[in-house]
Amino acid sequence: MAELQRPTLCCCRKALTVPSKSCDGGRPLGHCRLVDIASASNFHSFKLRHFHLDLHLNFALKRMTGWQVLELLPLQPGLQTLVLDTHPSLHIHSVDCKVPGGGGPDAVLPLTYRVEPFTDYGASLHVSLPASPPLRPHRAFQITVRYTTTDGPAIWWLDAELTCGRTRPLVFTQGHSVCNRSFFPCFDTPAVKSTYSATVRVPEGVTVLMSASRSAYSKQDRVFQFSMEFPVPAYLVALVAGDLQHADIGPRSRVWAEPCILTCAVSKLGGSVERWLGVAEGLFGPYVWGRYDIVFLPPSFPIVAMENPCLTFIISSILESQEFLLIDVIHEIAHGWFGNAVTNATWEEMWLSEGLATYAQRRITTEAYGEAFTCLETVFRLDALHRQMRLLGDNNPVSKLQAKFEQGVNPSSLMNLFTYEKGFCFVSYLSQLCGDIKRFDSFLRAYIEQFKFCSVVAQDLLDFFLGFFPDLKESCVAQREGLEFERWLNGCGPPLCEPDLSAGGVLTCPVQRLCEVWGGEDPDTKTIATFDLSAWSTFQTVLFLDRLLDRSPLPHEVMSHLSRCYSALLDGMNAEVQIRWLQIVVRNGFYPDLPRVRSFLHKHTSRMYTVPLYEDLCGGVMKCFAVEVFYQTQARLHPNLRRTLQQILFQTSSASPATTAPPMLTQAPTTTSPTDPPANGTIALRDVNVSA
């Protein structure tokens, strides 16, 4: 009852008088003015109708030069300033304005502007708008910004040596959460959506892709044209350019990759993508984006995958593991409905994207692969959530679904397992409230249809939920039992409840039994031999290894026994399995298997596999070994990753990302004791490494 009687709260933490059920220009209506403290812009004063990018890519100088045209509508009279998000790595050359009635159709007015500091992840561009002719509310005008951008947080230039083929350079962008302000000036908030188009000029032999619904190429002019006909927030605008080839894998899907990995990528996905899309459409309604293409990026891609509309970005390292690849692609497909079509209006409520997408992902895998497989994957992820909870403590505010943060805090720091798994558990709770999973599927279809191409806050979802199930609201009032929405959203700690995962017992019980065998004082060899890990799925194996890792440190005799039983077998498995075994080796100081750690770090150069091992190496007595391996491999590491590892190895301060690459070291800086804790001092990346 308390939940039903409490005042409705908006995203800016003020009481609402009218709940919102519609949107305009990507922002909810009915709310008081939306506040996004991660944006310096005055996005609430304008409607962004469309923007166009015209860019020239210079690989030799590692820079993009060109201009952006924004088509804006003032939402109130007397506006004197336009404020856009930008970044110090983006250099403004000029700003012009074209206003209807301003002295002819081609009249262009130069404008004055200034750039001011905002946070360590951005700056603000203040443009003085013309007084004459005056800007009229809801009448469009154009702003043109000419600029050059180099290697800010959004733009990753890769020398040829850092690509998969090691023959030609490559560049890609990564906008989530607030990085695209270094790609182009923008309203860098998920509350604002617009269509966009782009013209990209490149050297011969370079293929350009963007997160766009339409594209064209002029070979004679080496110009690529793109158009996104559906409104998207700034962070979902993405570009990749390099030596890329494609193969069709379905009627509306193709795989893009460097030539050396294209065949492997196609063989891993086959006709599965169309099957997954079909299952998702049966559950949540039509896929609105037209195409669903995938581009596999080199190991320097900083996350596992990114749901850019029409073109999912995914790290090529994941090709080693069929099951992780399956889950990651299905998760990004789910974002086509939850996150892309309907988007969280602020970064403080990322669970509206990730929690719903994780729930949708598991509905798809249940339909496609059965309940047992989905429950196994869920148990594996919830294990990781509880591991993170033990590290953070039950009262840590980052465990809230509505994670409030102050100005200056990078929203990317809120990307953690609570966003995904606690969000998933809350959505599962809503499903349980309605009493029928098929009825909840119908609700989600209606929710997408209601808020498609809009940005919403949690109250929008919950109001629509109670409106869709009026009997649920009435029964709560009649029985004087309140709903738990407030505790779910603003309470610290683990989920209030978890879904029933007993259907996965056929797959998880053998894992638990083997863990119990190894947990004894003298593990029985004959009993161990009855468990054939080579017949297990990847998720069973990593669940087993994660639970062994939780028990570390293990007695030396047990480590020796484990090594005799499994080291050779695990050598032939994928990287997701290997890294967990090697973390067990490192955390237990088991020197006989240290050569395997060296071999792994020489082979794998992605953040997802290097950072966890280096953190563990530096957290124990193997720091000298870690420094030695780093010297041997640093030339093949992206400068951003090299900088991160230098901070871990030598415990330098974690400053803002520089615009120049850190030097490759030939002699170690003075270090602290090999037994000192890792530089970050809190949570290993393995515990928080999730796809977007």
Annotated binding-site ranges for Zn(2+) = 331, 335, 354
Q: Report CA dihedral (616, 408, 91, 606) to the nearest 10 degrees.
A: 20
Q: Catalytic: 566?
A: no
Q: Report CA dihedral (529, 516, 498, 421) to the nearest 10 degrees.
A: -70
- Asked if 495 and 422 touch (Cβ cutoff 8 Å), the reply is yes
- 446 sits in which H/E element: helix 437-451
- 209 sits in which H/E element: strand 207-210
> Which of 166, 256, 264 is CA-nearest to residue 209?
256
> Which of 424, 414, 403 is CA-nearest to residue 354?
424
> Which of 316, 310, 321, 401 is CA-nearest to residue 358?
401
Q: Which two tokens stand for residue 467?
A: 């409106």
Beta bridge partners of 650: none
Q: Report CA dihedral (333, 335, 341, 343) to the nearest 10 degrees.
A: -170
- Asked if 453 and 193 touch (Cβ cutoff 8 Å), the reply is yes
Question: Checking DSSP bridges between strand 194-201 and strand 223-232, what pairing results, if any?
Answer: antiparallel
Q: Catalytic: 332?
A: yes
**553 upstream amide cis, omega within 30 of 0:** yes
- Asked if 68 and 144 touch (Cβ cutoff 8 Å), the reply is yes
Give Cα 89 distance to the centre of its chain: 22
- Asked if 143 and 127 touch (Cβ cutoff 8 Å), the reply is yes
Q: Is 71 helix (H, G, I), strand (E, B) or coil?
A: strand
Q: Is 593 helix (H, G, I), strand (E, B) or coil?
A: helix
**Can you tell me the distance from the alpha carbon of 121 to that of 88, in angstroms, rounded to the nearest whole number?**
9
Longest dimension (CA), the chain: 90
**Can you tell me the distance from the alpha carbon of 335 to that of 394, in angstroms, rounded to the nearest whole number?**
29
Question: Checking DSSP bridges between strand 23-24 and strand 27-28, what pairing results, if any?
Answer: antiparallel
Length in residues, the chain: 692
- 56 sits in which H/E element: strand 46-58
Annotated binding site: 331, 335, 354
- Asked if 417 and 384 touch (Cβ cutoff 8 Å), the reply is yes
CB atoms < 10 A from the CB of 270, how many?
11
- Asked if 183 and 156 touch (Cβ cutoff 8 Å), the reply is no
Running DSSP on this structure, what letter comes out for residue 662? P
Running DSSP on this structure, what letter comes out for residue 186? B
**Can you tell me the distance from the alpha carbon of 681 to that of 287, in angstroms, rounded to the nearest whole number?**
43
Burial of 114 (0-12, 13-18, 19+ CB in 10 A): exposed
Angle between helical axes of 607-619 and 639-650 (0-180°, round to 10): 10
Give Cα 205 distance to the centre of its chain: 30
State the residue for tokens 């013309």. 130
**Can you tell me the distance from the alpha carbon of 17 to that of 4, in angstroms, rounded to the nearest whole number?**
15
> One of 113, 147, 235, 420 is an active-site residue; which one?
420
**Can you tell me the distance from the alpha carbon of 187 to that of 195, in angstroms, rounded to the nearest whole number?**
13
Angstrom distances, CA of residue 213 to CA of 210, 311, 620: 9, 9, 50
Alpha helices (H) along 16-112: none
- Asked if 617 and 585 touch (Cβ cutoff 8 Å), the reply is no
> One of 332, 377, 498, 615 is an active-site residue; which one?
332
Number of alpha carbons in the 13 Å side-chain half-sphere of residue 302 = 21
The residues that are catalytic are: 332, 420
